[in-house]
Structure 1
Amino acid sequence: MGMLDGRRALVTGGARGIGAGISRRLAAEGAHVIVANRTLDVAEEIAAEIGGEAVQVDIGDLEQADRVVREAGRLDVLVNNAGFDDPGWFTDTTPERWQRVVGVNLLGMFAVTKAALPAMQEARYGRIINIGSEAGRIGSSGNAVYAATKGGIIAFTKSIARENARFGITANTLAVGPIETPLMDQVRAKGELGLKMVAAMEAGTLLKRLGTAEEVAALAAFVASEQASFVTGENIGVSGGMGIGSA
């Protein structure tokens, strides 16, 4: 028996990195997982591995996001994991870069959550898990736009929790620290600035290392389960103690 037997879950960005780890763990706990990803063939690989479904979506497109939720049918668990990062000094940030990051990290989350909530409210049950970042709490040197969107996610989640508690719906943010994923490789690819950022992130954790997607996924599965039925509106850190000071 798994913690999520009989539940249906949608994981956006569910085919790579943290998202793939969450898709695998939710399935291992008994959930039927719908893997939503911008690249369909990658989503199909994960879905085939876990016995789930694959759907292609650009969640920055409001119509696509709405369609995916409607076609998913009943949803008990929504994991808003899809995200985009384009690090750089704020003085070098263009409006286009700002809008692109906001479009995925905030507008996409808005669209998917808005589409999923009416059915959850009617069912009087739901688990909404938004993947945030410690950058949303402590800021980021060299990545202001990303930190701004992740800070927005914290406030958004608390608001959704307030509005929907009466429907039996919980909403929580997982404040993720530095995790070894393809996204981290993109940071390193920025050259000297990227390498310094990764080294600083490792040094900023009490454990002095990067985390793993599996460690994030374990917490996501717990928050999605009945064992976390009294947990809502929280910003839960899974970051190796990032940002609280040196060991």
Structure 2
Amino acid sequence: MTFLPAFCTPLDGHWPLPAPLPGTVFFSTRFDPVRLDNGDFQRCAVPPPASIQRSVAKRQAEFLAGRVCARAALQRLDHLDCTPAIGEDRAPVWPAHISGSITHSTGHAAAIVGHKAQWRGLGMDVENMLTLERAQRLAAEILTADELQRMALLPQAQIAQCVTLTFSVKESLFKALYPIVQKRFYFEHAEVLDWSDTGHVRLRLLTDLSSEWCHGKELDGQFAVGDGQLLSLVAVSG
């Protein structure tokens, strides 16, 4: 079993999104960086990369909390006793037959894993909900021209969620597709076509990433809002 450091709450395997993904394992935890202890990395058997050793306590805590979730998920899925390292591209390094994603935001970390044969790509992202003022300020950096036009038609009460969702689900899209295409892309290379209060979202690529993942390709994602945060997921089936 994964050692659980005192700065983390007990791992929660409750599925938080509208549509469960068969064959995947999800774990989340809440954490308090102030309670991080110097020996927690060693007790968890998670060697901290050099970049993490040099980081502030907040970054160390979110890294360790995410890795604790990931290790528990791998144990549950495949009885694997391993922790994803950080690759040269900063992405987690999963076992060759595993797809996975780790995410964290203020006091919240989560991980999802599945077999690559069933899920070629898994991308998950959690973000703090933007305030209306910040959403309006950041919109032009995150949204395409068409997305900005669609946002302008929304009631003001939905703008902060729209911008937060667009940011988060594009992050999830990148995490899901990057391991497949091995090519970086950015906010302007995808658009949110539609989203619903039930937590479903439709995306479209606006660039060619490969012969399969080309301009115009559409994908579905999902999201949930709670405790001032938004969690999104994009999954690519095998």
- TM normalised by structure 1 equals 0.33
Name the one with the larger helix percent.
1
